[in-house]
Structure 1
Amino acid sequence: MKKLILVIGIALVGFSVNAQNFNVGVSGGIPTGDNSDFYSFGIILDANYLYDVSEEFSVGATTGFIYSLLDSDFEGDDAGFLPIAAAARYSISEEFVLGADLGYALGVTPSELDGGFYYAPKLQYYFTETISGVVSYRGISVDSDAGGSASFDHITFGVEFKL
């Protein structure tokens, strides 16, 4: 696990050398899905590097951290995930961009939390050339110990900065 985080960190530092397509963002999220009764709010940090395939289409990699705060009515730990995903963005106009991230989210905290399939469709609106507002639905499908699966999902609202 530590080696994986180190490799991701080195990769992101390498990407920042050519930072024209490097983006960072922060979002707040409203929990939905199976765990919405247990978690009250989500805080999401994002970093991605996108390569322009054409004027309208970009692909790349994304990572970040998703932190779900446990509701005060329950005892236990907050949940944290480290998503590692492929990213795609399509510009539908100069201001609007449709995107999707697909990959795997590693369960980080609590330590017994499993990871799962990660997906995040999103819509971005560019206020300026370097600042955009982002609306997204982020889902993580996690296998449960009781058999079956559970979902850690958020509807998120945030801002992204192009560096």
Structure 2
Amino acid sequence: MKKIILTGVAIFAFGFANAQSGAFKLGAHVGLPTGDIKDWYSVNLGADLSYTWNVAEGLDAGITTGYTAYLGKDGVDAAGFIPVAATAQFTLENKMFIGADLGYGIGVNPSGNDGGFLYQPKIGYQMENAGLYVSYKGISVDGGTFSSVNLGVNFKL
């Protein structure tokens, strides 16, 4: 728990120190589990917080965190993760974008969930203050992968 708190503090301190050149985004997503876990989990729900900087024309990069949970079926405990990742988004023509998150999903629950490598490619539409996207999220853990196809929304703060 101490690692999680220190990681969160570091992310927000770095973000606030550079607040002049970037933007916060707050979002939510819902998804359908796929692959190894689809028989054991019914839905993926989560909330996301990111801070990005414009590093080149049409390219934003930054850091992201939040919480994502895979809700279990038939008495299976929910699996929860706190992602700590780098994020990037490249805006194409007509406000369409492609992007990706790469990092680590810290396992929160159930007991014994040590987390794993997190990857999330995205494609979406970015409006002035909000964005809609479709993504594939995977968290590689010992014994398999927590994965889902997600629909998400984010709002610039």
CA 1:94 to 1:2, structure 2 compared with 1: closer, same or farther past 3 Å?
farther
Ranges in structure 2 where 5+ consecutive residues have no aligned partner: none
CA contact (8 A) 2:90 2:97 kept: yes
Corresponding residue number in structure 1 for 2:58: 56
Alignment of 1:66-145 (within 5 A): 66-71=68-73, 73=74, 75-126=75-126, 128-144=127-143
Separation in 1, partners of 2:31, 2:9: 25
What stretches of structure 1 of length at least 5 have no aligned partner? 145-149
TM-score by length of 2: 0.90
Give 1:34-45 correspondences, 5 Å limit: 34-45=36-47
Q: Confirm or deny: 8 A CA contact 2:136 2:147 kept in the other structure.
A: yes
Corresponding residue for 1:147? none
Residue equivalent to 2:24 = 22
User: Runs (4+) of structure 1 moved beyond 2 Å?
Assistant: 1-7, 9-20
CA offset at residue 9 of structure 1?
Answer: 3.8
Q: Which amino acid aligns with 1:57?
A: L
Q: Report the RMSD for the aligned CA atoms in angstroms.
A: 1.7
The residue that corresponds to 2:155 in the other structure is 161
Cα deviation digits, residues 12-51 of structure 1 (max 9, x gap): 2652572751111001010001011000011011111111
Distance 1:14 1:81 in 2: 22
- In structure 1, C-alpha distance between the alignment counterparts of 2:7 and 2:107, rounded to whole Å: 17
Do the aligned partners of residues 120 and 110 (structure 1) sit closer, same or farther apart at CA in structure 2, a change above 3 Å counting?
same
SS in 2 for 1:4: helix
The one-character-per-residue Cα deviations of 1:97-122 (angstroms, maximum 9, x if unpaired) are 11011111111011211211100000
Residues 35 and 10 (structure 1), Cα distance of their counterparts in 2 relative to 1, 3 Å cut: same
What TM-score comes out, normalization by structure 1 length?
0.87
Q: Which amino acid aligns with 1:23?
A: K
SS in 2 for 1:11: helix
